[in-house]
Amino acid sequence: MPSPTARRLAALLGLALALVGCQERAAPGWSGYAEGDYIYIAAPLPGRLDTLSVQAGQQVAQGAPLFTLDSETERAAREEAGARLAAAEAQAANLATGRRPDEIAVLTAQLAQARAQAQLAQSNLARQRQLVAQGFTSAATLDSLESSARQAQAHAGEAEAALRVARLPGRPDERTAALAQARAAGEALRQSDWRTRQKQQTAPAAGQVADTYFRAGEYVGAGQPVLALLPPSHIKARFFVPETEVATLAPGDAVQLSCDGCGAPIAARVSRIATQAEYTPPVIYSNAQRAKLVFLVEARPSPQDALRLHPGQPLDVRRMPAR
Cβ partners under 8 Å of residue 302, min gap 6: 267
The predicted pLDDT at position 81 comes to 79
* Rounded-to-integer distance, Cα 104 and Cα 156, Å: 16
Domains 26-37+232-319 and 39-71+198-230 share a fold: no
Domain assignments of the chain as residue spans, ordered by start: 26-37+232-319, 39-71+198-230, 82-190
Domain 39-71+198-230, CATH class in plain words: mainly beta
The predicted pLDDT at position 134 comes to 64
Please, what is the average pLDDT of the chain? Answer: 80
**Burial 191-211, CB ≥16 within 10 A → b, else e:** ebeebbebbbbebeebbbbbe
Global pTM reads 0.63
Q: How far is CA 109 from CA 20, 100, 162, 163, in A?
A: 118, 15, 12, 10
- In this predicted structure, the answer to whether residue 138 has a pLDDT above a threshold of 80 is no
* Rounded-to-integer distance, Cα 153 and Cα 137, Å: 23
Question: Would you say 159 and 110 are in contact if contact means Cβ atoms under 8 Å apart?
Answer: yes
Report the range out of 18-32, 110-124, 282-296 with the highest average pLDDT: 110-124
As a whole number, mean pLDDT of residues 292-312 equals 92
Of 225 and 112, the structure prediction assigns the larger pLDDT to 225
* Rounded-to-integer distance, Cα 226 and Cα 306, Å: 25
The predicted pLDDT at position 80 comes to 78
Report the range out of 171-185, 278-292, 300-314 with the highest average pLDDT: 300-314
* Rounded-to-integer distance, Cα 123 and Cα 282, Å: 118
* Rounded-to-integer distance, Cα 315 and Cα 261, Å: 11
What percent of the chain shows pLDDT beyond 90?
43
Question: Over the stretch 32-73, which tens digit does the pLDDT of each residue have?
Answer: 999 999 999 999 999 999 999 999 999 999 999 999 999 888
Of 188 and 35, the structure prediction assigns the larger pLDDT to 35
Question: Would you say 114 and 152 are in contact if contact means Cβ atoms under 8 Å apart?
Answer: yes
pLDDT-derived band at 224 (thresholds 50, 70, 90) equals very high
Strand 219-220 and strand 200-202: the pairing is: unpaired
As a whole number, mean pLDDT of residues 22-28 equals 47
The predicted pLDDT at position 25 comes to 46
By mean pLDDT, which of 172-176, 191-195, 309-313 is the weakest?
A: 172-176
The predicted pLDDT at position 165 comes to 64
The predicted pLDDT at position 17 comes to 44
The tally of CA atoms less than 13 A away on the side-chain side of residue 23 is: 9
By mean pLDDT, which of 46-50, 60-64, 100-104, 250-254 is the weakest?
A: 100-104
Question: Would you say 38 and 228 are in contact if contact means Cβ atoms under 8 Å apart?
Answer: yes
Using alpha carbons, select from 319, 305, 322 the residue that is nearest to residue 252: 319
Report the range out of 58-72, 172-186, 275-289 with the highest average pLDDT: 58-72
Radius of gyration, alpha carbons of the chain: 46
CATH number of 26-37+232-319: 2.40.30.170
The predicted pLDDT at position 243 comes to 87
Chain-centroid distance, C-alpha 7: 82
> Which H/E stretch holds residue 240?
strand 235-242
As a whole number, mean pLDDT of residues 292-300 equals 92
